[in-house]
């Protein structure tokens, strides 16, 4: 993918004007950013799951500078595609927590689970459900996502993140390339679900992807590896990369960018991993930070 030339940098140093409890970030220069990867829930999206109106004109400014914007989410590719449909061909998508990277309908990379691992994960989920009735699961494939529980409330919850979602009789019978098993509880996924799947950490990636969600993926899969595939393919460096995130599934992504930002509302572990702190998702932190760091009025 050719990158348009970046126009001359502004003469002033960027300052992020943040909420009072967050110190401004002063950089000595405007960095040569070519790639911005951004989580969705709790990061780009506000507390009503909406994208701020200021985002859309900002995208035009970024593309004019040759900067690629990359939604990086635990959400399904088709869900992200629908959300960004007017500009989808201009973006690169890191979907399913890094297991599926797509651009213009073409696969950049994917990390799938083995059939044996999928079967073992489904059986483990079913054992957990016998003990914790409010736990549910989505089996996430390249072509669709699948649930076997006839629960309208959970189906509606899962549909927020999975645009293609099918109700099936048996998850073990699914024929698809499986990217991950996503498990859900209305309580804390860290406390209710994680202990049951902790033993999979030796051979898989087990990540608490949100307050209520936990994902199990191939061992090498994470948002950081998905981002790295893009950087290598487009010859973009860490110093030319900016990332934003708020939860534990964003940890590895912080390591792949010199300009890594944790949201003010982020998990403490992510704040410790990131290089900088951004205003929160409810304060349009992503857009404000990008404008300030890049000197965009």
Would you please indicate which residues are annotated as catalytic (active-site) residues? 39
Question: Are the CB atoms for 167 and 183 separated by under 8 Å?
Answer: no
Q: Would you give the distance in Å from CA 11 to the centre of its chain?
A: 33
Fill in the DSSP letter of residue 176: S
Helix, coil or strand: residue 168: coil
For residue 204, give the nearest of 101, 95, 114 by alpha carbon: 114
10 Å CB burial of residue 232 (0-12, 13-18, 19+) is exposed
Give the whole-angstrom CA distance, residue 95 versus residue 88.
13
- The number of CA neighbours under 13 Å toward the Cβ of 159 is 8
Give the whole-angstrom CA distance, residue 157 versus residue 135.
12
- Adjacent-strand bridge partners of 38: 71, 244
Q: Would you give the distance in Å from CA 9 to the centre of its chain?
A: 29
Q: List the alpha helices (DSSP H) in 134-250.
A: 152-159, 189-192, 194-197, 223-234
For residue 229, give the nearest of 91, 108, 103 by alpha carbon: 108
Which helix or strand (DSSP H or E) is residue 78 part of?
helix 77-83
Give the whole-angstrom CA distance, residue 53 versus residue 57.
8
Give the whole-angstrom CA distance, residue 74 versus residue 86.
21
């Amino acid at each position: 993918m050719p990158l348009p030339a970046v126009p001359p940098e502004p003469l002033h140093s960027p300052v992020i004007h943040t909420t009072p409890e967050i110190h401004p970030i002063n950089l000595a220069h405007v960095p040569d950013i070519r790639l911005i990867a951004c989580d969705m829930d709790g990061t780009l999206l506000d507390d009503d799951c909406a994208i701020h109106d200021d985002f859309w004109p900002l995208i035009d400014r970024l593309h004019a500078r040759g900067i690629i914007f990359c939604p990086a989410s635990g959400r399904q590719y088709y869900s992200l595609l629908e959300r960004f449909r007017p500009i989808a061909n201009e973006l690169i998508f890191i979907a399913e927590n890094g297991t599926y990277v797509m651009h213009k309908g073409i696969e950049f990379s994917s990390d799938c689970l083995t059939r044996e691992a999928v079967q073992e994960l489904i059986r483990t989920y079913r054992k957990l459900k016998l003990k914790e009735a409010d736990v549910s699961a989505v089996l996430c494939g390249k072509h669709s996502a699948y649930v076997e529980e006839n629960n309208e409330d959970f189906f509606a919850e899962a549909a927020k993140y999975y645009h293609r979602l099918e109700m099936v009789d048996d998850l073990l019978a699914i024929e698809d390339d499986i990217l991950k098993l996503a498990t859900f509880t209305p309580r804390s996924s860290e406390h209710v679900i994680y202990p049951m799947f902790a033993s999979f950490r030796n051979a898989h990636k087990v990540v608490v992807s949100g307050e209520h969600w936990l994902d199990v993926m191939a061992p090498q899969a994470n948002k950081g590896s998905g981002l790295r595939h893009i950087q290598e393919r487009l010859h973009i460096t860490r110093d030319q990369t900016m990332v934003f995130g708020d939860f534990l599934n964003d940890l590895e992504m912080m390591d792949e960018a010199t300009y890594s930002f944790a949201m003010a509302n982020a998990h403490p572990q992510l704040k410790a991993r990131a290089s900088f702190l951004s205003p929160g998702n409810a304060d349009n932190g992503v857009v404000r930070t990008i404008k300030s760091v890049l000197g965009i009025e």
